[in-house]
Amino acid sequence: MAVAASGTGASGGGLRRLRWSALKRNAKLWRGAAAIALTLVLWECGSRASQQLGMQLPFIGLIPPPTAVLAAWAEVIPQFGYWESWYLSFKRVLAGFLSAMVVGIPFGLLLAVSRYCREIFFPPFEVLRPIPPLAWVPASLIFWPTNELSIAFVTFLGAFFTIVINVLGGARSIDIRLLRAAQSMGATKWDMFWRIVLPASLPSIFTGAAVGMGITWEVVLAAEMISGGGTQGGGGLGFFIWNSYMGGSLEQIVVGMFSIGIAGYLSSSAIRYLGDRCMPWRRLF
Amino acid sequence: MAASVAVNQSTAPGAAAKGAVSIRNVTKVYDPEGVNVMAVDDCSMEIAAGEVCMVVGPSGCGKTTLLNAIAGFHSITAGEIHLDGELLCGPDKPLAEQGADRVVVFQNGALFPWKTLRDNVAYGPLVRGQLSKRDALDKAAQMLADVGLAEFAEKYPGEVSSGMARRAEIVRALINDPKVLLLDEPYRAMDELTKSIMHEALLEMYDRTRVTMFFITHDLEEAIFLGDRVVVMTTRPCRTKKIVDVNIPRPRDYHLLSSEAFRLLVEEASEAVHEEALKAFTAGERELA
């Protein structure tokens, strides 16, 4: 909702300043804005139609109209609990994501540069990798002393495997000519790693981070729903949705869903921004 | 006589007698899964210090294998390679150590995409700890300016044309003051116009440095235009088939391309190459049939 509104607003503001030729070039923006607007209108009409027709339309008739969702949103925005949910979820996502980066990037690079490490660690890694993060939940609830730690661990796992696989793949596919060029100019192993392997792997590190961030959100939300409210490991946007469901507030469920959409968008924007900062040579493409 | 020597010295201030490569009876057999593939067979070649030695031959004939052996990327099976009388690789030491005295310029370019041209050029002296960061960057900027790339020094390789990138790459090799420059078809897939500019730029750099070059190419005109000698290799396994001496004085410029002497030399080399190319082609057909 807010995404749609701000999206059309931004493109509208930008478009006013553009000439006609530029407008035509921005057909993509127009189409996007129109599609979002049309979706909202159809959604509104679809959910309101129930009152006019005296009967509920299938599926769409069950969903609260966008205006009602907006109203519910306006209601929760001043509430402390809503923002606490944001804070808790973000905190968990960041904890899991950052720890996965901190452990996963060096581990992936290690597997890439050392054949022995690859031969030793890769097989067990590949056996553990296909296990979905949520399948780890019961075991980690037993293993870790607090719910919060269990959530953090499961979140970590979700991002960890993806990051490692991406870093490994990226570092292993470095153009051999670059490695040889560096060697032939007298680079030591240390230089090769810091000045060649690491920067050459950055693109795949960021790809891994972007995908890993998405998985982290999925896992955190699911874990929050499972763990429920309470003082320990409770709250968060996942619990916000679950709580709205238990309380029968359809509008708030939708608010929670869009909140997650925005949170995910903010997270991936941050990664894109960091990627641009760390890889200025790739901004050209 | 004395005057001509003086002229030679003044045109080539860095003309120290270094970079003589001696390839003696080198054989290389690749052995992937027990299938012996002989890439180089008893190949011998003497490259004098400061010589531009052009190596031509059919695709896949083993020229690059030879280059890789000199650079220390691949081992050799038999024979010896010496550089200025020192053994690079031989029976007891099949793989030469890699070193900045033999810098390679690769096919399609291998500048580090994450470094600006200046950082690329400064890389060698910097990683060897030969120069401080400031000195390395200053020298890099100076050398880039010498080849007309002053205003592109802070650009990334992706931002400049392939011609500029290639020029920067040769500068990146030359800054290491190598004994021999190993070039593996550096101007492949470049249009004729860019190529001719690249050739003149390379000749200019050569006239300044007189660095020994081991230059692999498919382009006979390029070979004659740039080289002191053109070594025509046989189809796989790679052997020396014919050596064409290019007795055309330096400095050379593009007027040479339309001269009779040039045409005759190209013809001479082309006959030898064509014969081998045909052999390689029919051999390839047999393999496919």
Asked if A182 and B100 come within 8 Å (Cβ–Cβ), the reply is no
How many Cβ contacts (< 8 angstroms) between chains A and B? 71
**Could B103 and A185 be called an inter-chain contact, meaning their C-beta atoms sit closer than 8 Å?**
yes
Average of per-residue pLDDT across A118-127: 94
Q: Which residues pair with A244 in a beta bridge?
A: none
Residue with tokens 């916000």: A240
Strands (E), chain B: 21-30, 37-47, 52-56, 78-83, 86-89, 102-105, 180-184, 212-217, 229-233, 240-245
How far is B28 from B82, CA to CA, in rounded Å? 16
Q: How many CB atoms lie within 10 A of CB B112?
A: 21
Q: Rounded mean pLDDT of chain A?
A: 84
Interchain pair B112, A199: CB under 8 A: yes
What does the buried/exposed string (b/e) look like for B125-152 if buried means 16 or more CB atoms within 10 Å of the residue's CB? bbbbebbeeeebbebbbebbeebebeeb
pLDDT for B6 equals 35
pTM here is 0.78
* Interchain pair A184, B104: CB under 8 A: yes
- Cβ–Cβ below 8 Å for B71 and A200: no
Q: Which of B112, B123, B158 sits opposite A284 (nearest CB)?
A: B158
Please tell me which of the candidates A186, A200, A279 has its beta carbon nearest to residue B128: A186
**Residue A113, by phi and psi: left (phi above 0), alpha (psi -120 to 50) or beta?**
alpha
Minimal Cα–Cα distance from B249 to chain A, Å? 32
Answer whether B158 sits within 8 Å of A285, measured CB to CB: yes
Number of H helices, E strands in chain A: 13, 0
In contact, A196 and B129? CB cutoff 8 Å: no
Nearest to A199 among B73, B114, B128 (CB): B114
Token code pair at residue A201: 């792997």
Q: A184 to chain B: which residues are within 8 Å by CB?
A: 71-72, 98-100, 102-104
Q: What is the pLDDT of residue B11?
A: 40
Which domains does chain A show, CATH number per domain?
A: 73-280 (1.10.3720.10)
Residue A8 clears pLDDT 70, i.e. is over it: no
By C-alpha distance, the chain A residue nearest B109 is A177
A189 to chain B, any CB pair closer than 8 A? The answer is no
pLDDT digit string (tens) for A147-176? Answer: 888 888 999 998 999 999 999 999 999 999
- Taking the CA of residue A186 and the nearest CA in chain B, the distance in Å comes to 5
pLDDT bracket for residue A4 (50, 70, 90): very low
Backbone angles phi, psi at B13, to 5 degrees: -65, -30
A283 near B CB under 8 A? no
User: Between chains, do A180 and B159 touch, taking CB under 8 Å as contact?
Assistant: no
Tens digits of residue pLDDT in A14-72: 445 556 666 667 787 888 899 999 999 988 888 888 777 777 777 777 788 888 899 98
User: What is the reported pLDDT for A6?
Assistant: 41
- Residues of chain B in contact with residue A285, where contact means CB-CB under 8 angstroms, are 158
Measured in whole angstroms, the distance separating CA A186 from the mean position of its chain's CA atoms is 42
Q: Which residues of chain B register pLDDT less than 70?
A: 1-17, 32, 34, 284-289
Q: Which of A109, A248, A214 is nearest to A165 (CA)?
A: A109
Give yes or no for B188 touching A (CB within 8 A).
no
Q: Which of A180, A183, A185 to mutate to test binding with chain B, by most B CBs within 10 Å of its CB?
A: A185
Task: For residue range A215-241, list pLDDT tens digits in order.
Answer: 999 888 888 887 765 545 567 888 888
At residue B212, the pLDDT reads: 93
Question: Per the CB < 8 Å rule, is A187 touching B104?
Answer: no
CB contact under 8 A, B110 and A180: yes
C-alpha distances in Å from residue B70, one per residue of A31, A95, B129: 59, 51, 24
Dist. CA A231–CA A84, nearest whole Å: 13
In chain A, which residues have their Cβ closer than 8 Å to the Cβ of B107?
Answer: 177
Give yes or no for B101 touching A (CB within 8 A): no
* A196 in reach of chain B (CB within 8 A): yes
Mean pLDDT of A100-106: 95
Q: How far is B105 from chain A (nearest CA, A)?
A: 8
The reply to whether residue B176 touches residue A191, judged by beta carbons under 8 angstroms, is no
DSSP helix/strand/coil, A57: coil
pLDDT at A7: 40
How far, in Å, CA of A121 to CA of B157, rounded? 37
Contact B176/A at CB under 8 A: yes
